[in-house]
């Protein structure tokens, strides 16, 4: 049950090509967004499509994989961990970022 404590599973499409950076420590970090869609019928019986955007991060070998194989529009399934982190903007404003730290990924569909 340990793996269920903080586990996120999503199927969606990449919003952009992964952006890979190398940190001062030498570690690689990939960032990209993932769109998930859900449809339902409203009170009038009309179909409504709702899109949620998720910020995804991948480290080291997973970052290299994302850079080499994942492209904008591809459909993927991923499993990861929900992360909240605090940061400060250049103006000194405090913000909170919510991201999913990718543990595993499967390419399930072609480009849209």
Q: Each residue of 75-87: pLDDT tens digit?
A: 999 999 999 999 9
Reported as a pLDDT band with limits 50, 70 and 90, residue 2 is low
Q: What are phi and psi of 69, to 5 degrees?
A: -120, -25
User: pTM of the entire structure?
Assistant: 0.85
Tokens 């529009």 sit on residue: 73
Overall average pLDDT of the 16-21 stretch: 98
Fold classification of 2-111 (topology level): OB fold (Dihydrolipoamide Acetyltransferase, E2P) (2.40.50)
The structure tokens listed for 74 are 């591809």
* Residue 40: half-sphere exposure toward Cβ, Cα within 13 Å: 5
Task: Let me know: does 75 contact 31? Beta carbons within 8 Å.
Answer: no
In the chain, domain spans: 2-111
Please report which residue ranges of 1-112 form alpha helices under DSSP H. 60-69
Mean pLDDT along residues 86-101 = 95
The larger pLDDT score, comparing residue 1 to residue 98, is at 98
pLDDT digits (tens, 9 = 90+) for 36-76: 999 999 999 999 999 999 999 999 999 999 999 999 999 99
pLDDT recorded at residue 4:
73
Whole-number Å distance between alpha carbons of 39 and 93: 36
């Amino acid at each position: 049950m340990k793996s269920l404590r903080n586990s996120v599973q999503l199927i969606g499409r990449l919003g952009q090509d992964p952006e890979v950076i190398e940190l001062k420590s030498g570690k690689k970090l990939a960032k990209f967004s993932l769109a998930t869609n859900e449809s339902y019928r409203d009170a009038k019986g009309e179909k409504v499509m709702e899109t949620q955007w998720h910020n995804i991060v991948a480290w080291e070998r997973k970052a290299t994989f994302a850079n080499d194989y994942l492209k904008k529009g591809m459909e993927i399934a991923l499993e990861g961990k929900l992360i909240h982190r605090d940061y400060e903007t250049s103006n000194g404003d405090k913000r909170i970022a919510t991201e999913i730290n990718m543990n595993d990924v499967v390419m399930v569909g072609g480009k849209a």
